[in-house]
Chain A
């Protein structure tokens, strides 16, 4: 069964750090770009970060750039989100996500997020 299991969410003080993990199973992990998406309970979805298949290329949303780092360990089929300098407005459920797409002609394009983790809650509060 194709599955993503998110973990690592916790209560942390403003300015603190936290590392989220996402363990993948049931598919060839290195073949897929991976993302993190967050959602404040009761609000909409916000894309956070993405890494390519071998972890050599990463991209971030503007609100987390310079504070969060996405990485992956293909030997462990795990993707991580290191979150530093956390702020109250980082409070949200964080989802690990697999994307589908294709690469051709020297370019890659993603079509959608077809597998989602169950989400892990991060609360930033004093």
Chain B
């Protein structure tokens, strides 16, 4: 199974900050990687797929990059509604797996 390691697992930041989250895969997955945002008590929301394609309706301050084994999610200017937990997921082959999550909290 492919292991996805997210870092950091916890991040404290202020409104307006630029935030970067990293996801490393235990083996190459080309660009078959998605990013999700989850708020407490809610289902996850798809932000980015194929590593860098912004899902419809997602603000352009979110961006993704990477291929192979290293990927990043960047929020260019953190907004109050962005405080949440973020997960990466690979879709290269089964079983699909998720990263452990990165919780972004208000500084």
**A interface residues, Cβ below 8 angstroms from B:** 35, 44-47, 50, 59, 61-62, 95, 100-101, 109-114, 116-119
Q: Is the CB of A45 within 8 A of B98?
A: yes
Q: Is the CB of B43 within 8 A of A62?
A: no
- Chain B residues with Cβ below 8 Å from A44 are 87, 98-101
Select from chain B the residue with minimum beta-carbon distance to A117.
B43
Over the window 30-46 of chain B, the binary record of Cβ atoms lying under 8 Å from chain A Cβ atoms (1 yes, 0 no) is: 00101010100001111
Residues of B in contact, count (CB < 8 Å): 25
Extra contacts besides A47-B98, A116-B45 (20): CB < 8 Å = A44-B98, A44-B99, A44-B101, A45-B36, A45-B44, A45-B89, A47-B95, A47-B97, A50-B94, A62-B1, A62-B95, A111-B32, A111-B49, A111-B50, A112-B50, A112-B55, A112-B91, A113-B89, A114-B49, A117-B43
